């Protein structure tokens, strides 16, 4: 059975004609799916009952089942979704004063194995389908309501987006299509640890959205330990690819840098980072580490983060401290899924 959220608008047109419906039905269906976010075909009231019955026999609407929601005192909401095969993924809604952001997952688990990431400790199962990516937006928007429209989407949840390139590209197409979610390409950001072939494809096929690089270190020695795939795509090669990427002051490349006490937060690291990004339109996000039970790292002291930031600004590198949100809930990537999994195991053993 076809999940309609797997289809671009052109594919939706092809689908409706393939089952004997008029081509214009695609626009009607897209309105119900993406503007009104219906849960069933029965809610599509400007479509005949006979047509709705046919659609229900040939297609389905949702790809995810909402399992749990946690809400922080700061308004951040963490969502746990179950997939048809029983796997679970997470999404995070982050309200800001002037906009709302959704952080979406692209894989079940993650194959990269970053040493500070809780998701990595649970291994990797599979890529998400396009529908499973898009449905995170739909279901969270349903929950938060029309008054809290999600304007920004960041592909920074569970998984490495550029290792699921084709499905991520289709999800972005659906999210930015005026007939569908109609988001601005400037409000969509894809984060990668530095998969160079994916960055090169993105430069050709998805360069209207923003690129973020999870860097987290300024030497190969440290990055090899924190982000093991650095051994395959070392810092020098990564920045060679970034210098070729079609970035500008409107679509600057974001450098994501988790601050780890005594590991990557020295003044020397800050100075090396200045040299690495020289000549590239970038914005650096300094992210205080969000610790979890059993973590082998500690967050850098605030004073050290501010020193690091000042060195960057003094050298004309825009740098911002991105404080962790939802610290009173399971907001760090992988925490809610792990907590629920551990709770289930305890219930079974008892």
Cα angle value 325/119/273 (rounded, 5°): 65
Does residue 279 sit in helix, strand or coil? coil
Binding annotation: 110, 114, 117, 159-160, 191, 214-216, 290
Q: Is 130 exposed, middle or buried (0-12, 13-18, 19+ CB in 10 A)?
A: buried
Mean pLDDT of all residues belonging to the chain: 93
Euclidean distance between CA atoms 227 and 30, whole angstroms: 40
Residue 134: the pLDDT is 98
**Residue 12, H or E segment:** helix 9-18
pLDDT higher than threshold 80 for residue 97: yes
Which of 3, 70, 132, 333 does the annotation list as catalytic? 333
**Residue 92, H or E segment:** strand 88-95
CATH fold of 65-349: TIM Barrel (3.20.20)
Residue 120: the pLDDT is 77
Which ranges in the chain are annotated with CATH 3.20.20.70?
65-349
Euclidean distance between CA atoms 115 and 225, whole angstroms: 7
Q: How remote is the C-alpha of 261 from its chain's centroid?
A: 26
**Cβ atoms of 216 and 256 closer than 8 Å:** yes
**Between residues 345 and 40, the one the model is more confident about:** 40
Binding annotation for S-adenosyl-L-methionine: 159-160, 191, 214-216, 290
Euclidean distance between CA atoms 120 and 337, whole angstroms: 12
3 part of the active site: no
CB within 8 A of 12, min separation 6: which ones? 4, 26, 29, 30
Euclidean distance between CA atoms 206 and 201, whole angstroms: 8
Q: pLDDT, tens digit, for every residue of 211-253?
A: 999 999 999 999 999 999 999 999 999 999 999 999 998 899 9
pLDDT higher than threshold 70 for residue 122: yes
Q: pLDDT, tens digit, for every residue of 284-328?
A: 999 999 888 888 899 999 999 999 999 999 999 999 999 877 766
Which of 70, 90, 132, 256 does the annotation list as catalytic? 90
Euclidean distance between CA atoms 112 and 65, whole angstroms: 26
**Cβ atoms of 83 and 300 closer than 8 Å:** no
Euclidean distance between CA atoms 217 and 215, whole angstroms: 6
103 part of the active site: no
Q: pLDDT, tens digit, for every residue of 151-187?
A: 999 999 999 999 999 999 999 999 999 999 999 999 9
pLDDT higher than threshold 90 for residue 330: no
**Residue 65, H or E segment:** strand 65-71
Class of the CATH domain delimited by 2-60: mainly alpha
Binding annotation for [4Fe-4S] cluster: 110, 114, 117
Q: pLDDT, tens digit, for every residue of 183-200?
A: 999 999 999 999 999 999
Does residue 75 sit in helix, strand or coil? coil
Euclidean distance between CA atoms 133 and 3, whole angstroms: 12
Residue 345: the pLDDT is 41
Euclidean distance between CA atoms 140 and 154, whole angstroms: 14
Provide φ and ψ at 25, rounded to 5°.
Answer: -60, -25
Neighbouring C-beta atoms of residue 65, cutoff 10 Å: 13
pTM > 0.85: yes
Question: Which residue is it, tokens 């309200």?
Answer: 95
């Amino acid at each position: 059975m076809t999940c309609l959220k797997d289809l671009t608008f052109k594919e939706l047109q092809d689908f409706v004609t393939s089952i004997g419906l008029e081509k214009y039905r695609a626009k009607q269906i897209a309105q119900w799916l993406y503007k009104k976010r219906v849960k069933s075909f029965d809610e599509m009231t400007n479509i005949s009952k006979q047509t709705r019955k046919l659609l229900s026999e040939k297609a389905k609407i949702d790809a995810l089942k909402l399992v749990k929601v946690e809400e922080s005192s700061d308004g951040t909401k963490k969502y746990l979704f179950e997939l048809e095969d029983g796997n679970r993924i997470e999404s995070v809604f982050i309200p800001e004063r002037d906009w709302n952001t959704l952080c979406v997952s692209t894989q079940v688990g993650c194959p990269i194995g970053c040493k500070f990431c809780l998701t990595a400790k649970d291994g990797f199962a599979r890529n998400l389908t396009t529908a499973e990516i898009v449905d995170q937006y739909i279901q969270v928007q349903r929950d938060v309501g029309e008054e809290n429209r999600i304007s920004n989407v960041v592909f920074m949840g569970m998984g490495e987006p550029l290792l699921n390139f084709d499905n991520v590209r289709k999800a972005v197409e659906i999210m930015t299509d005026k007939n569908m979610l109609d988001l601005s390409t400037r409000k969509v950001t894809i984060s990668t640890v530095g998969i160079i072939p994916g960055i090169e494809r993105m430069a050709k096929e998805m360069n209207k959205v923003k690129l973020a690089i999870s860097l987290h270190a300024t030497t190969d020695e440290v990055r090899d330990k924190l982000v093991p795939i650095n051994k395959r795509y070392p810092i020098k090669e990564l920045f060679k690819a970034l210098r070729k990427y079609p970035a500008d002051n409107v679509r600057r490349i974001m450098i994501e840098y988790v601050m780890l006490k005594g590991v990557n937060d020295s003044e020397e690291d800050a100075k090396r980072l200045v040299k690495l990004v020289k000549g590239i339109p970038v914005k650096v996000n300094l992210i205080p580490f969000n610790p979890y039970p059993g973590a082998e790292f500690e967050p850098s002291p605030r004073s050290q983060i501010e020193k690091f930031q000042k060195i960057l600004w003094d050298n004309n590198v825009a740098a911002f401290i991105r404080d962790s949100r939802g610290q009173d809930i399971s907001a760090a990537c992988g925490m809610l899924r792990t907590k629920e999994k551990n709770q289930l195991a305890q219930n079974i053993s008892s």
